[in-house]
Structures are given as C-alpha cells and as structure tokens.
C-alpha cells in the first residue's frame, strides 16, 4: 500500500484543520510502515487506538467550529463523521480482538475515507469558515 503524501489540494484553508489532517495522514502511514515491517501486533493495536481517539478529537473540533459560525452544512457533515467514526471504532475493536480482519482491509478503508472526506465534504466548510476566522 502506498503511503499518503500531503498535497496542497487537500488543504481546507484552515491551518488548524490542515494540521489535524496531516497528523491523520501520518497515523495511517505509521500503520502502513508497521505492516510492512511486520511489527509487533501491539504496535498496530496502539496506533489504531491513537487513531480512534485522534479522529474523535478532530471531528469534535471541526463540528464545534462549524456550529460556532452557523455553517448550514453542519448536520450533513456530522452524519458523515458519525458513519466514519463508527467504522474506525469497529476496525479498532476488531484489530484489538484479533478477529482475523486484515490490516490491508483496514488501511484501504482508512486511506479511502480520509482522502474522500478531506477532498470532498471538508472542502465545503473551508471557504465558509476561512473568511470568518481571519
């Protein structure tokens, strides 16, 4: 699996959230490296736990700012976050239990949603919030 490389087109124009997204990229890359290096399963478990809590932290931060500035796409955005978070939690729990889920399946899902969501829905709040923060 290819590592995720940050590109300018991923930027939502808000430094704080770009930074969060970059950290999420790096966490997924850590999982890719751990898998390639055949790391101890505990390394993968710990990274998944970190990813789960960081995802929650990041979603709460985005939602709070959208709410604060009255972004009209908030409800739709929250719904997508809920679906994504439930998948992240499900995969984290399955990895913790060693239920046979492959790391490739997890990585495909994680890399897919992060790119789709960052390039898709997150781009909608970018222009709206950008000039309210400045």
Q: Which tokens go with 86?
A: 């439930």
Using the rule CB under 5 A, give the single segment among 46-54, 88-96, 98-106, 121-129 that binds Fe ion: 121-129
- Which of the residues 58 through 97 are near Fe ion (CB under 5 A)? 62
CA within 13 Å, CB half, 39 = 14
18 binds Fe ion (CB under 5 A): no
Q: Say which DSSP state 2 is in.
A: P
122 binds Fe ion (CB under 5 A): yes
Q: Kindly determine how many residues on this chain lie close enough to bind Fe ion according to the rule CB under 5 A.
A: 2
Q: Which tokens go with 4?
A: 């995720």
Smallest separation (angstroms) from Fe ion to the CB of 86? 14
- Which of the residues 43 through 62 are near Fe ion (CB under 5 A)? 62
Smallest separation (angstroms) from Fe ion to the CB of 62? 5
* Residue 71 to residue 110: CA distance in whole angstroms: 26
Name which of 69, 49, 59 is nearest 20 in CA terms.
59
Sites of contact with Fe ion (CB under 5 A)? 62, 122
């Amino acid at each position: 699996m290819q590592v995720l490389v940050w590109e300018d087109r991923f930027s939502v124009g808000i430094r704080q959230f770009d930074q969060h997204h970059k950290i999420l990229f790096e966490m997924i890359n850590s999982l890719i490296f751990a898998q390639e290096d055949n790391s101890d399963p505990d390394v993968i478990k710990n990274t998944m736990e970190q990813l789960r809590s960081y995802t929650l932290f990041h979603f709460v931060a985005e939602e709070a700012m959208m709410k604060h500035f009255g972004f009209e796409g908030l409800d739709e955005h929250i719904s997508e976050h809920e679906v994504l978070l439930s998948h992240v939690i499900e995969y984290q729990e399955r990895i913790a239990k060693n239920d046979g889920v492959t790391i490739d399946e997890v990585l495909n899902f994680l890399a897919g949603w992060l790119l789709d969501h960052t390039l898709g829905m997150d781009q909608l709040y970018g222009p709206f919030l950008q000039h309210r923060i400045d």
